[in-house]
Amino acid sequence: MPSRTFTVVVAAGGGARFGTAKQFVRLAGVTVVERAIAVATEATDGVVVVLPADTEWRPAPPVLHAVGGATRSDSVRAGLDLVPDDVDIVAVHDAARPLATSALFAAVIDAVRRGADGAIPVLPIVDTVKRVDGDRILETVARDDLVVVQTPQAFRLDVLRAAHASGGVDTDDAALAEAVGGNIVSVPGDPRNVKLTVAYDLEFLRAMLDDGSVSR
C-alpha cells in the first residue's frame, strides 16, 4: 500500500520584517497562504494549516486548521497534533514560500520513501561568506560544504513527532530531527522557491509570475 502523506503549512507569523501578515498578501489574485495550501493539497493526501490566533480567515474543508504558538516550532507542533496517526510521511512547508512546486514536494517525499528519516531541499551558496563582529571582518568562511535550506521538508511522522517531543525551538525542523539522531538527506532545491520576507520579495515573486518563470 502506498504511504499516506500529509502537509503542515506554517502560516502563523505576524510578518514583523514584512510589515504586515504576509501570508494574507495577494499574489496574482490569490493570497500567499492559499497558494501554499493549493500546492500542498495537490502534492499530499491531506493538509493542516497553522494560523495566527487573531485571524478570522479559515481554509475550506477538508483542509484542517490549528492555532499557532509563540515560536515557529510551537506552531509546527500545533499542526502535528492534527495529523492523523495513520500518516507515514509528513511535509512541513512555510506559507512564505508560495511558489514551491509539487515536484519539489515529490522529491523530498520520495527521498523519505527510499529510507531517509527526513529530506530537505537545498541550494549551494554562490556568494562569498564572511564572519563579522559588528562592522569588523573576522574571517572568510569556506563555502564548499555549505548550503541554504528551503521548504517543503519531509519526514517520517514518528521521527518528526519524536524530534518535537522535547519542546525544542529552532527555525528549521530538520535541525530538531538531526538532534534526535535522524538520518536527514538533501535534495536539489529550486531557486524560484523564493521566501517572502521583505516587501521587495513580493515584487520579485510577482515579476516571476508575470514573465512566466513559474506557473500562476
Q: Look at the chain and report how many structural domains it folds into.
A: 1
What CA–CA distance (Å, rounded) separates 34 from 216? Answer: 12
Q: Count how many Cα atoms sit within 13 Å of the Cα of residue 73 in the half-sphere of its side chain.
A: 18
Q: What is the pTM of this model?
A: 0.94
CB 51 within 8 Å of CB 8? no
Residue with cell 554562490: 126
Q: What is the model's pLDDT at position 7?
A: 98
Asked if residue 155 belongs to a domain, the reply is: yes
> Shortest CA distance to 152 belongs to which of 160, 164, 141?
160
Q: Count how many Cα atoms sit within 13 Å of the Cα of residue 6 in the half-sphere of its side chain.
A: 26
| Domain at 172, CATH number | 3.90.550.10
User: Can you give the pLDDT of all 216 residues of the chain as single tens digits?
Assistant: 568 999 999 999 877 677 678 899 999 899 999 999 999 999 999 999 999 999 999 999 999 999 999 999 999 999 999 999 999 999 999 999 999 999 999 999 999 999 999 999 999 999 999 999 999 999 999 999 999 999 999 999 999 999 999 899 998 999 999 999 999 999 999 999 999 988 889 998 999 988 776 766
Kindly state the cell numbers that stand for 120.
530537505
Residue 87 DSSP SS3 = coil
Q: What is the model's pLDDT at position 13?
A: 83
> Shortest CA distance to 33 belongs to which of 89, 96, 83, 126?
96
Q: Letter for the amino acid at 78?
A: A
Q: Which residues are paired to 148 by β-bridges? A: 123
Residues with Cβ within 8 Å of residue 86, at least 6 apart in sequence? 4
Q: CA–CA distance from 63 to each of 6, 8, 50, 82 (Å)? A: 10, 10, 11, 11
Residue 132 DSSP SS3 = strand
Other residues' Cβ atoms within 10 Å of the Cβ of residue 162: 17
What CA–CA distance (Å, rounded) separates 88 from 15? Answer: 32
Domain that holds residue 197: 5-210
Q: For residue 14, what is the DSSP state? A: -
Q: What is the model's pLDDT at position 198?
A: 85
What CA–CA distance (Å, rounded) separates 119 from 174? Answer: 8
Instruction: Answer whether the bond into residue 191 is a cis peptide, omega within 30°.
Output: no
Asked if residue 182 belongs to a domain, the reply is: yes
Asked if residue 108 belongs to a domain, the reply is: yes
CA 108 to chain centre: 12
Asked if residue 215 belongs to a domain, the reply is: no
